[in-house]
């Protein structure tokens, strides 16, 4: 019961309170910030899922970049609707992750982490080299998402015709975020989540009870990369451009930090972690050249004293993975 | 009685070291067979090869005439040959009941997607997992620790948990890795009773590796003795106790360890 109330409060806050506050205060720049948080938290949710099978994933930037390019290319070169290119971008990222995951997912700990760290750089270099991605010039002037109508009834209006496309992107991104985390919650509390937990805690024992651990790892990595691709594709659409540097190694590291900060044991950890990290960074802007120093110092302290993430402060029993 | 499991000329080499050399024996349906031997005799290696956690260098293991060596552990488990581990190999942050529910993976009828969407067969599975877990907890007499976290359990209970996880897969052959190690006399006797009950009531064939000689002698139908990777004897407990080669092998280490 408490969970449903919490969900309702959250939905009202995201879809009603925040927009009306922004409208009242005129701080429309918040739309972009919060949209970014929503999209980054979707990609971070994917990273969180790989943590859930005991793998440190520092390569989500690679899949976000792949997703952004796939969507941009489909929209600009093949004339696809953005709304169709979005799932296709996720699927393409997932397929790539399966091809990469089969050989590398058997690695553990730091070895897996190192390879994923390189992935972002590999995708960046590939984007620079391929003709279809237009090298360093990237893909620019991507049209805004078009209209979706069912039987002449407009479900989603053409973003280009809207008075305030920022608000439309905000609603879209938040809706995707809510969908993502609802699916994650369900997944973690269903059998796949239980199997992931068993693998995270002891892979040998998991395989002795008949769990095909290699298979599950690949499935989970594919879902993770799917989310990365979706997040990336949305970003490309908002910025209306994609460059090889749109997602860098730093972004990949940040996706991972979001999970750490929010709490690896909590499904909603990445959402909170992204919010705090993103706003924390912005709030420290005044410090000028000390920004990074203070920021990283605070992160270290937080992780020392809250190794299980911010959500371990409270929310015990609420949103706790698989309990 | 028929041969359920057959180990045929199995050899395992680690570099220049031969951990198991040309081992052959068979396990009959519904028997309790123990593999004993001094430290470093190659017992654990043999166990790992039977459960496909380790490939053989040569030779093969057959279960009902089908090869089960050099496969993947989960494939062998699917066929009904399941191993347990020593006490540290558990799902630390799951409760006893959660561990048993997860361990029923092989009994699942619905697909993973089915569980996600909550289809009818998935809901039935979940219900049946819960029922089966409760039955198993009662069967093993561990209802007192049903909702304890595995990481909080004392050693004696960890063995029971390991056994429960193994049994939850509904195995035909259960390989127990030192089920009595580190237990006092009373705990050992309780565990011996439990293993017997598993064989008698559930028709599970048991193969175990063990150091505790009194326990082995009282529980086993037959015993295989390994020494320096070689199989030096095979027979009933009485035969083994009077086997000259076995006595010599153990005299090298601790005399009292064999307990005869």
Distance from C-alpha of A288 to C-alpha of A132, rounded to nearest angstrom: 39
B86: closest chain A residue by CA: A205
Q: What is the DSSP string of A92-159?
A: HHHHHHHHHHHHHTT--HHHHHHHHHHHHHHHHHHHHH-TTTTGGG-B--PPPP--EEETTEEEE--G
The region of weakest confidence among A25-29, A54-58, B66-70 is: A25-29
Say if residue B180 is in the same domain as residue B255: yes
Mean pLDDT of A232-254: 93
Say if residue B12 is in the same domain as residue B30: yes
* Buried-exposed string A280-317: b where 16+ CB fall within 10 A, e elsewhere: eeeebeeeeeeeeeeeeeeeeebeeeeeebbbbeebee
Residues 6 or more apart in contact with residue B183 via CB below 8 angstroms:
B155, B156, B159, B191, B212
Mean pLDDT of A208-222: 95
Say if residue B116 is in the same domain as residue B60: no
- Tokens for A75, please give them: 């929209």
Q: Which of A192, A201, A214 sits opposite B116 (nearest CB)?
A: A192
Q: Is B177 helix (H, G, I), strand (E, B) or coil?
A: strand
The region of weakest confidence among A115-129, A236-250, B152-166 is: B152-166
CA dihedral of residues A243, A247, A249, A254 (deg, nearest 10): 160
Residue A282 lies inside a defined structural domain of this protein: no
Domain count across chain B: 2
The more confidently predicted of residues A149 and A145 is A145
Say if residue B128 is in the same domain as residue B244: no
pLDDT tens digit string along B5-33?
Answer: 999 999 999 988 899 999 999 999 999 99
A265: closest chain B residue by CA: B93
Q: Chain A partners of B91 at a C-beta cutoff of 8 Å?
A: 197-198, 201-202, 205
Residue ranges of alpha helices (H) inside chain A are: 2-12, 18-25, 29-52, 60-76, 82-104, 109-129, 165-188, 191-201, 203-208, 213-239, 249-262, 269-283, 291-305
Yes or no, beta carbons of B106 and A201 under 8 Å apart: no
Residues 6 or more apart in contact with residue A155 via CB below 8 angstroms:
A148, A149
| Nearest chain A CA: its distance from B28 CA (Å) | 22
pLDDT at position B155 is 80
pLDDT tens digit string along A251-309?
Answer: 999 999 999 888 888 899 999 999 998 888 888 888 888 888 988 888 888 888 887 88
Side by side, the strands of the sheet bearing B3-14 are B17-28, B3-14, B58-63, B66-67
Say if residue B130 is in the same domain as residue B240: no
Distance from C-alpha of B131 to C-alpha of B149, rounded to nearest angstrom: 19
Say if residue B51 is in the same domain as residue B178: yes
Yes or no, beta carbons of A208 and B85 under 8 Å apart: yes
Contact A191, A198 (CB under 8 A): no
pLDDT tens digit string along A62-111?
Answer: 999 999 999 999 999 999 999 999 999 999 999 999 999 999 999 988 99
Query: Is residue B47 predicted with pLDDT exceeding 80?
Result: yes
Query: Is residue A321 predicted with pLDDT exceeding 70?
Result: no
Residue A150 lies inside a defined structural domain of this protein: no
Mean pLDDT of B174-183: 89
| Nearest chain B CA: its distance from A194 CA (Å) | 7
Q: Chain A partners of B74 at a C-beta cutoff of 8 Å?
A: 207-208, 210-213
Confidence of residue A159 (pLDDT cuts 50, 70, 90): confident
Range of the domain at A53: 29-139+156-248
Confidence of residue A319 (pLDDT cuts 50, 70, 90): very low
Percentage of chain A exceeding pLDDT 70: 97
Q: Chain B partners of A190 at a C-beta cutoff of 8 Å?
A: 112, 115-116, 118, 122
For residue A243, is it left (φ>0), alpha (ψ between -120 and 50) or beta?
A: beta
Distance from C-alpha of B154 to C-alpha of B148, rounded to nearest angstrom: 11
B108: closest chain A residue by CA: A191
Query: Is residue A318 predicted with pLDDT exceeding 80?
Result: no
Q: Which of B121, B137, B170 is at the close of a domain?
A: B170
Distance from C-alpha of A287 to C-alpha of A293, rounded to nearest angstrom: 10
Mean pLDDT of A186-203: 93
Mean confidence (pLDDT) of chain B: 90
Range of the domain at B115: 86-170
Q: Which of A190, A201, A208 sits opposite B83 (nearest CB)?
A: A208
We report the CATH number of the domain holding residue B3 as: 3.40.50.300
pLDDT at position B247 is 85
pLDDT at position A205 is 94
Among residues A122, A66, A105, A22, the alpha carbon closest in space to that of A235 is found at A66
pLDDT at position A265 is 86
| Nearest chain A CA: its distance from B260 CA (Å) | 35
Which helix (H) or strand (E) is B128 found in, with range? helix B120-140
Domain count across chain A: 1
pLDDT at position B252 is 62
Yes or no, beta carbons of A208 and B78 under 8 Å apart: no
Residue A21 lies inside a defined structural domain of this protein: no
Distance from C-alpha of B233 to C-alpha of B227, rounded to nearest angstrom: 9
Contact B32, B206 (CB under 8 A): yes
Say if residue B71 is in the same domain as residue B178: yes
Say if residue B34 is in the same domain as residue B6: yes
Q: Which of B140, B170, B200 is at the close of a domain?
A: B170
Backbone angles phi, psi at B224, to 5 degrees: -115, 135
Among residues B100, B75, B80, the alpha carbon closest in space to that of B203 is found at B80
Yes or no, beta carbons of A205 and B122 under 8 Å apart: no
Contact B55, A186 (CB under 8 A): no
Distance from C-alpha of A316 to C-alpha of A310, rounded to nearest angstrom: 11
The region of weakest confidence among A76-90, A116-130, B244-258 is: B244-258
pLDDT tens digit string along B106-153?
Answer: 888 889 999 999 899 999 999 999 999 999 999 999 999 999 999 999
Mean pLDDT of B218-235: 92
Confidence of residue B86 (pLDDT cuts 50, 70, 90): confident
Say if residue B164 is in the same domain as residue B37: no
| Nearest chain B CA: its distance from A255 CA (Å) | 25
Query: Is residue A323 predicted with pLDDT exceeding 50?
Result: no
Residue A241 lies inside a defined structural domain of this protein: yes
Query: Is residue B65 predicted with pLDDT exceeding 60?
Result: yes
Q: Chain A partners of B44 at a C-beta cutoff of 8 Å?
A: none
Q: What is the DSSP string of B23-42?
A: EEEEEETT-EEEEE-STTSS
pLDDT at position A320 is 44
Query: Is residue B258 predicted with pLDDT exceeding 60?
Result: no
The more confidently predicted of residues A4 and B61 is B61
Confidence of residue A322 (pLDDT cuts 50, 70, 90): very low
Contact B206, B176 (CB under 8 A): yes
pLDDT at position A283 is 83
pLDDT at position B253 is 52
Please give the DSSP secondary-structure letter assigned to residue B89: -
Name residue B209's beta-bridge partners.
B35, B177
Which of B44, B80, B115, B122 would you mutate first to test chain A, the one with the most A CBs within 10 A?
Answer: B115
- Tokens for A247, please give them: 């997602």
Yes or no, beta carbons of B105 and A195 under 8 Å apart: yes
Mean pLDDT of B214-235: 92
Name residue A242's beta-bridge partners.
A139
Yes or no, beta carbons of A219 and B112 under 8 Å apart: yes
Say if residue B240 is in the same domain as residue B203: yes
Residue A214 lies inside a defined structural domain of this protein: yes
């Amino acid at each position: 019961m408490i969970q449903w109330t919490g969900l309702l409060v959250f939905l009202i806050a995201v879809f009603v309170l925040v927009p009306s506050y922004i409208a009242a205060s005129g701080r429309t720049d918040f739309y972009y910030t919060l949209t970014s948080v929503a999209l980054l938290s979707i990609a971070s949710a994917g990273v969180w899922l790989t943590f859930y099978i005991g793998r440190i994933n520092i390569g989500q930037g690679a899949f976000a970049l792949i997703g952004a390019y796939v969507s941009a290319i489909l929209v600009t070169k093949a004339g696809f609707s953005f709304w169709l290119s979005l799932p296709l971008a996720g699927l393409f990222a997932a397929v790539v992750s399966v091809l990469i995951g089969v050989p590398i997912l058997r690695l553990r700990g730091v070895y897996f982490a190192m390879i994923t760290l390189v992935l972002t750089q590999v995708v960046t270099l590939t984007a620079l080299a391929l003709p279809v991605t237009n090298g360093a010039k990237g893909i620019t002037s991507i049209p805004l998402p078009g209209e979706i109508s069912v039987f002449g009834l407009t479900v989603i209006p053409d973003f280009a015709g809207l008075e305030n496309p920022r608000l439309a992107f905000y609603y879209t991104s938040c809706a995707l975020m809510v969908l993502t985390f609802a699916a994650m919650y369900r997944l973690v509390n269903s059998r796949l989540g239980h199997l992931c937990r068993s693998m995270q805690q002891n892979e040998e024992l998991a395989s002795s009870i008949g769990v095909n651990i290699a298979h599950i790892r690949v499935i989970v990595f594919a879902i993770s990369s799917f989310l990365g691709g979706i997040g990336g594709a949305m970003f490309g659409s908002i910025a209306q451009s994609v460059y090889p540097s749109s997602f860098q190694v730093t972004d990949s590291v940040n996706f991972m930090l979001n999970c750490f900060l929010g709490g690896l044991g909590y499904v909603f950890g990445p959402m909170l972690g992204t919010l705090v990290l993103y706003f924390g960074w912005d709030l420290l802007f005044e410090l000028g050249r000390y920004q990074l120093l203070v920021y990283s110092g605070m992160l270290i302290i937080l992780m020392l004293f809250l190794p299980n993430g911010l959500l371990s402060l409270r929310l015990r029993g609420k949103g706790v993975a698989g309990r | 009685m028929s041969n359920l499991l057959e180990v045929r000329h199995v050899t395992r080499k680690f570099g220049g070291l031969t951990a198991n050399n040309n081992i052959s024996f068979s396990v009959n349906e519904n028997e309790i067979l123990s593999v004993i031997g001094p430290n470093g005799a190659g017992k654990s290696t043999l166990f790992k090869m039977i459960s496909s956690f380790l490939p053989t260098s040569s030779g093969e293991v057959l279960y009902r005439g089908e090869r089960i060596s050099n496969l993947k552990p989960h494939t062998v488990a699917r066929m009904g040959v399941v191993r347990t581990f020593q006490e540290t190999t558990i799902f630390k942050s799951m409760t006893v009941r959660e561990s048993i529910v997860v361990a029923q993976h092989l009994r699942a009828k619905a697909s993973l997607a089915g569980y996600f969407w909550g289809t009818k067969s998935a809901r039935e599975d979940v219900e049946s997992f819960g029922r089966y877990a409760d039955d198993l907890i009662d069967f093993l007499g561990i209802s007192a620790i049903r909702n304890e976290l595995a990481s909080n359990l004392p050693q004696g209970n960890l063995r029971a948990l390991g056994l429960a996880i193994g049994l939850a897969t509904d195995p035909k052959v259960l390989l127990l890795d030192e089920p009595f190690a580190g237990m006092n006399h009373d705990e050992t006797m309780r565990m011996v009773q439990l293993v017997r009950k598993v064989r008698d009531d559930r028709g599970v064939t048991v193969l175990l590796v063990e150091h505790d000689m009194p326990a082995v002698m009282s529980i086993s139908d037959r015993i295989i003795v390994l020494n320096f990777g070689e199989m030096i004897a095979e027979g009933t407990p009485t035969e083994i106790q009077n086997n000259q080669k076995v006595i010599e092998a153990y005299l090298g280490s601790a005399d009292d360890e064999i307990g005869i």
